Structure 1
């Protein structure tokens, strides 16, 4: 009896997980107002990993943004300074900015990190897939939310 209950619970959990994914593999999310209130992964991100990602040249954050990162050389000045980002924006707003910055400014040069349709000038390696995973988005959101004045 207990074994069948466990099997049913595992099957139910699998169905719920699949229901939260879109056909293209991206997590479902709902934009409410000026943000995405719910985590893309269903769990909070890791701020330490988020800091590492934000400072990595592969995510391009630091190429355009500057912030309280004394060890990072050649910080950008094309976009807002990230100092105090956690005071200026909620986690919900930060999440939407990372997922699809064009929702705020259609002419932005900031990439839509968690979108795979309607993009132009996409490199072959990024065609039909997001730049960042849902986990990476959540990690960066967790980190940016820690940046307080």
Structure 2
């Protein structure tokens, strides 16, 4: 299968690991979208359920019945949209250590001050800004 030239050029011109924007933290939240626009909750659900992208269900359980073997060492994602605001959810995903220095949750959108990072991941975020916004958009929908 050949990749069309336009797609190949986009992949070269737009690397996945761009330097993350520095979000403004206000109290216990990042009120503004990292991308300037809302995320897509359908894509966010896919990221949360993914065993290779978000890995959220490794530690959390959530209302994703088709995914077996969900975690139980972190709070359930069910009702996350009722417990936390959009901005509070965003900060927890971007860098949960700002709220709890002892958290085992990875900083999904931070590149500095990390330890034990494989060389090929140095300077890269786990999720892109758009993916963070997608996950936030999904979690906000979880009201029960």
Aligned residue runs from structure 1 range 1-149, under 5 A: 25-58=19-52, 59-149=54-144
Report which stretch shifted further, 93-102 or 116-125. Answer: 116-125
Preserved contact between residue 19 and residue 123 of structure 2 (Cα < 8 Å): no
The higher radius of gyration belongs to: 1
| 1:28 positional shift | 3.0
Cα RMSD over matched residues?
A: 1.0
The separation in 1 between residues aligned to 2:49 and 2:98, in whole angstroms, is: 24
| Deviation string, structure 1 residues 33-92 (Cα, Å, up to 9, x no partner) | 000000000000000000000000121101000011110010000100000000000000
Which stretches in structure 1 are left out of the alignment for 5+ residues?
Answer: 1-23
Which stretches in structure 2 are left out of the alignment for 5+ residues?
Answer: 1-17
Q: Which has the higher helix share?
A: 1
TM-score by length of structure 1 reads 0.82
Relative contact order higher in (CA < 8 Å, ≥ 6 apart): 2
The separation in 2 between residues aligned to 1:147 and 1:50, in whole angstroms, is: 12
Aligned residue pairs, count: 126
TM-score by length of structure 2 reads 0.85
